[in-house]
């Protein structure tokens, strides 16, 4: 049954997944080309020195793309479910509703993780090829909150879409904006390296709220 549900989700989101993965790759390619050009025009040592001195995050462009990736995946996966209350069809399948929500969310999170692994892999190649090793180490710790933030964004899109009550929906939007901004507020290398554990805890907490929205959807508007 999970295989069949995965099939349904894949049919729904395959083009947006391909599109998002492509955009992520293109942005990283652009970062690589920019950096290569800078190194051609200026002395590599001087550039690296400035990067270190001012903590310049040369892959900063990927930050917003990572955020948008989670946001759009959530929208494209769950808007069709909410449109015309199609989620009722899904919840009528002979599987417990919470299990269905968990499985649908798992599909999205799995796809996001795949895209982020590709991102991290390509960024690592850029770092290893052009910069000293410490940049590679800090890159992973700098981008990790962004990736976690994207998954949190994805979860909040689901929470907001599935929630049937408009008041709670609007409260959720403001709550989501506050929480998501935490993941993207830091600047500089490894800005959140000491708090990444708490970010992951926050992500787990946010993902649990999905089940509350699903419960509210099932209970209906009274």
Partner 1 sequence: MGNVVEIKDLTHYYGKKLVYENLSFNIKEGSIFGLLGKNGTGKTTTINILNGFLRPKSGKCLMFGEDSYNLSPATKARVGFLIEGHIQYSNMNIIQIEKFYSAFYPKWKKEPYYELMSKLAVTQDQKLSKMSCGQRSQVALGLILAQDPDLLILDDYSMGLDAGYRRLFIDYLTEYAKAEKKTIFITSHIIQDLENFLDDCVILDYKSVLMTMPIKEFMSTFKQFKFETSVKDLKLEKDDVVKSYEIIKNKAVIFTFEQQPNVASYLNSKGIDFNDLHQVPMSLEDAFIGITGKY
User: Is residue 193 classed as helix, strand or coil in its secondary structure?
Assistant: coil
Among residues 47, 93, 125, 136, the one that binds partner 1 under rule CB under 8 A: 93
The reply to whether 167 sits near partner 1 by the rule CB under 8 A is no
The reply to whether 96 sits near partner 1 by the rule CB under 8 A is yes
Shortest CB 104 distance to partner 1, Å: 13
The reply to whether 79 sits near partner 1 by the rule CB under 8 A is no
3, burial (CB in 10 Å: exposed 0-12, middle 13-18, buried 19+): exposed
Among residues 25, 52, 55, 91, the one that binds partner 1 under rule CB under 8 A: 91
Which H/E stretch holds residue 141?
Answer: helix 133-162
Interior angle at CA 142, CA 193 and CA 63, nearest 5: 140
What gap in Å lies between CA 213 and CA 217, rounded to an integer?
A: 6
Among residues 30, 46, 85, 124, the one that binds partner 1 under rule CB under 8 A: 85
The reply to whether 129 sits near partner 1 by the rule CB under 8 A is no
The reply to whether 1 sits near partner 1 by the rule CB under 8 A is yes
Among residues 43, 53, 194, 220, the one that binds partner 1 under rule CB under 8 A: 220
CB 203 within 8 A of CB 148: yes
Placement of tokens 């995946």 in the chain: 73
Q: Which of residues 6-35 bind partner 1 (CB under 8 A)?
A: 7-8, 11-12
User: Is residue 87 classed as helix, strand or coil in its secondary structure?
Assistant: helix
Piece in contact with partner 1 (CB under 8 A), picked from 25-33, 90-98, 128-136, 205-213: 90-98
Reference 76, options 26, 146, 19; nearest CA is 19
- DSSP labels for 16-44? HHHHHHHHHHHHHHHHHHHHHHHHHHS-H
Q: 19 or 80: whose CB is closer to partner 1?
A: 80
Piece in contact with partner 1 (CB under 8 A), picked from 39-47, 77-85, 123-131, 179-187: 77-85
Shortest CB 187 distance to partner 1, Å: 40
- Which 8-state DSSP code applies to residue 84? G
- Judged by the rule CB under 8 A, the positions of this chain that interact with partner 1 are 1, 3-4, 7-8, 11-12, 80, 84-86, 88-89, 91-96, 218-222
């Amino acid at each position: 049954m999970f295989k069949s549900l995965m099939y349904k989700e894949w049919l729904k989101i395959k083009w947006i997944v391909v599109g998002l993965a492509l955009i992520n790759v293109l942005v990283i390619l652009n970062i690589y080309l920019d950096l290569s050009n800078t190194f051609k025009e200026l002395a590599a040592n001087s550039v690296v020195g400035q990067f270190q001195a001012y903590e310049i995050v040369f892959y900063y462009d990927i930050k917003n793309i990572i955020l948008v990736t989670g946001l759009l995946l959530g929208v494209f996966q769950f808007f069709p479910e909410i449109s015309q209350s199609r989620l009722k069809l899904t919840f009528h399948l002979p599987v417990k509703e919470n299990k269905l929500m968990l499985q649908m969310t798992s599909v999205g999170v799995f796809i996001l993780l795949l895209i982020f692994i590709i991102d991290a892999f390509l960024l690592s190649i850029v770092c290893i090829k052009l910069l000293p090793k410490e940049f590679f180490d800090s890159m992973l710790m700098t981008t990790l909150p962004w990736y976690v933030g994207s998954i949190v964004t994805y979860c909040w899109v689901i929470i907001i879409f599935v929630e049937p009550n408009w008041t709670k929906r609007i409260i959720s939007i403001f709550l989501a904006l506050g929480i998501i901004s935490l993941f993207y507020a830091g600047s500089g290398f490894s800005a959140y390296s000491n708090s990444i554990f708490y970010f992951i805890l926050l992500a787990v907490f946010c993902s649990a709220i999905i089940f509350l929205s699903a419960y509210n959807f099932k209970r209906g508007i009274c």
